[in-house]
Amino acid sequence: MNTEAEKRSLLLEMITLATVDGHLHKRELEFLRLVALELSISEEEFQDLFHQETKSLPIPSEIQRINQFYRLALLMHCDGVLHEREFQAIQQIALQMGLNLSAVKRVLEMMKKSPNTVINPIVLLEIFKEQHN
């Protein structure tokens, strides 16, 4: 991520997904806080993001869009409960990002079957590359 606006946009998108079910689980908050730290967003600015409206900026590269989708998917699973509204929201976000819906569904299904919801990054990229052929 290059600009502060892009970083805030990514985090706002994640906050929106985390709260789509009407609850913000402690694990989701911790995950969001870790991402904020990774993006060099201060605790004060992080807390302020919960009071802002979502303004999604387009993510320039496909790799960055896949990375953001995967962050969202990990966030969705981190509370141990997969809500239908989260599942629908992440698919809608992925479509808005221009990601292939078949690849998105495959990744989400693999994560659901995985014991810790983690997918090897090479496998993740291969799933999206397959859709280009």
3-class SS at 56?
coil
pLDDT of 54 strictly over 90: no
Q: pLDDT tens digits for 72-100?
A: 999 988 887 778 888 899 999 999 899 99
pLDDT over 70, % of the chain: 95
Nearest to 10, CA basis, from 59, 51, 70, 48: 59
The number of C-alpha atoms within 13 Å of 85 and in the hemisphere containing its C-beta is 8
Q: pLDDT tens digits for 119-130?
A: 999 999 999 998
Who contacts 45 (Cβ-Cβ below 8 Å, separation ≥6)? 8, 36
Mean pLDDT of the chain: 88
| pLDDT attached to residue 114 | 87
- 49 phi/psi in degrees, rounded to 5: -60, -25
Q: CA separation (Å) from 57 to 12, 25, 75, 90, 110? A: 10, 26, 20, 16, 28
Residue 94 tokens, joined: 């992925």
> Other C-beta atoms within 10 Å of 119: how many?
19
| pLDDT attached to residue 119 | 92
3-class SS at 62?
helix
pLDDT of 35 strictly over 80: yes
| pLDDT attached to residue 58 | 82
Place of tokens 């919960």: 50
Return d(Cα 68, Cα 53) in angstroms, integer. 19
Residue 70 — very low, low, confident or very high, per pLDDT cuts 50/70/90?
very high
pTM as predicted: 0.81
| pLDDT attached to residue 87 | 87
| pLDDT attached to residue 81 | 75
| pLDDT attached to residue 124 | 93
**22, amino acid identity:** G
Q: CA separation (Å) from 104 to 22, 23, 80, 98? A: 24, 24, 19, 11
